[in-house]
């Protein structure tokens, strides 16, 4: 049986090693293994073939930490059989012609194609050891001086964060003063006590948060909501450079992909003819320089939040 490394995706999925696992499972099924090995077909459901490639794709989705054992491959194969049975029933019920389902399928297709193009555009180059070390040293609040913060938070709508409120909050030195400012300005809010490690806070604010004392009031204004935070307390929980290396590598790779995507989209927008309806349901786009930055993809957003599983 191949080792985990043999089946681990590294830029492109190593199908040959994982195909060996899938075909090994087939050999234990008590059927004609030789025929299927040649055709790469692992099962048929009312004539529809389920192939090694489909199983390998499912294995790839599990990532490099999954144990690619024959038992796992068999479970995946059984799951694909069940899925095909349900797909056949959906087609028989003509659900593949339902307008909403057709739109959902088209949306998925568009997203897969867009993601595949960006993956190819970004390439598979990995951050160097020097880049990883530089990121570690440039972000002591995430690593060498990492803290877990006890916070009091007030959440409001982003449109309610006015210059007048910011001026009041800048002078606030207690929770009571924050609440008083919100009430006097008739701003609805949600209040909560939270515990958040440094990696769950905006990375660009960490230097300010790290240098702020207990009781300090800070504001994070995002597209979806605005958070007013008061630092109640913290505990030191540093992370060593070796512990952080793999996480930093993943974060930098995703950040590079986002940068490549942003630059390419800017080029494409500049050269494409894009028309928006005027006065209709679709608003005119804001100029490129005034549009908020696109959010990082899911893997980038989760990257630093998954630090050591804390």
Which of these, 250, 253, 261, lies nearest to 294 by C-alpha position?
261
- Computed on alpha carbons and rounded to an integer, the radius of gyration of the chain in Å comes to 26
Instruction: DSSP letter for 96, please.
Output: G
- The reply to whether 168 and 218 lie within a common domain is yes
Q: Global pTM?
A: 0.57
Mean pLDDT of 197-214: 90
Domain with 87, as residue range(s), is 5-96
Question: What is the pLDDT at residue 67?
Answer: 63
The per-residue pLDDT for 33 is 44
Question: 52 near 19, Cβ under 8 Å?
Answer: yes
Quick check: 29 pLDDT over 90? no
Kindly state whether residue 281 falls inside one of the protein's structural domains.
yes
Q: Virtual CA dihedral for 206, 211, 213, 218, nearest 10 degrees?
A: -40
Question: For 53-92, how does the pLDDT look when each residue is reduced to its tens digit (9 = 90+)?
Answer: 999 989 888 875 556 788 899 999 999 999 999 999 999 9
Q: How much is the mean pLDDT over the chain?
A: 81
From 211, 236, 261, the end of a domain falls on 236
When pLDDT is cut at 50, 70 and 90, the band that residue 304 belongs to is: low
Does some domain include residue 101?
A: no
* Each residue's pLDDT tens digit, 257-296: 999 999 999 999 999 999 988 754 554 455 544 444 444 4
In the chain, the number of structural domains is 3
Residues 6+ apart with CB under 8 A from 196: 148, 149, 151
């Amino acid at each position: 049986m191949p080792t985990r490394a043999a089946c681990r995706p590294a830029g492109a999925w190593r199908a040959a090693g994982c195909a060996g696992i899938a075909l090994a499972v087939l050999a234990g099924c008590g059927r004609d293994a030789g025929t299927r090995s040649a055709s790469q077909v692992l099962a048929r459901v009312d004539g529809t073939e389920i192939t090694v490639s489909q199983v390998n794709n499912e294995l790839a989705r599990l990532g490099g930490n999954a144990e690619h054992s024959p038992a796992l491959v068999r479970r995946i194969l059984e799951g694909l059989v069940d899925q095909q049975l349900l797909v056949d029933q959906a087609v028989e019920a003509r659900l593949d012609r339902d307008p909403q389902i057709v739109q959902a399928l088209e949306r998925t297709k568009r997203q897969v194609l867009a993601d595949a193009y960006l993956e190819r555009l970004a390439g598979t180059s990995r951050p160097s050891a020097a880049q990883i070390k530089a990121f570690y040293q440039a972000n002591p609040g995430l690593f060498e001086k990492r803290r877990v913060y006890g916070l009091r938070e007030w959440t409001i709508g982003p449109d309610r964060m006015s210059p007048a409120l910011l001026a009041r909050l800048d002078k606030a030195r207690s929770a009571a003063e924050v609440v008083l400012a919100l009430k006097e300005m008739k701003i609805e809010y949600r209040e909560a006590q939270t515990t958040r490690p440094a990696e769950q806070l905006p990375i660009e604010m960490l230097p300010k948060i790290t240098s702020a004392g207990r009781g300090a009031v800070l504001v994070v204004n995002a597209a979806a909501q605005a958070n007013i935070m008061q630092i109640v307390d913290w505990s030191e929980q540093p992370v060593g450079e070796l512990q952080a290396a793999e996480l930093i590598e993943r974060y930098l790779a995703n950040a590079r992909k986002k940068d490549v995507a942003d630059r390419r989209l800017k080029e494409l927008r500049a050269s494409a003819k894009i028309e928006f309806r005027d006065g209709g349901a679709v608003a005119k786009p804001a100029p490129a320089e005034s549009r908020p930055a696109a959010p990082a993809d899911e893997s980038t957003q989760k990257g630093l939040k998954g630090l050591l599983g804390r």
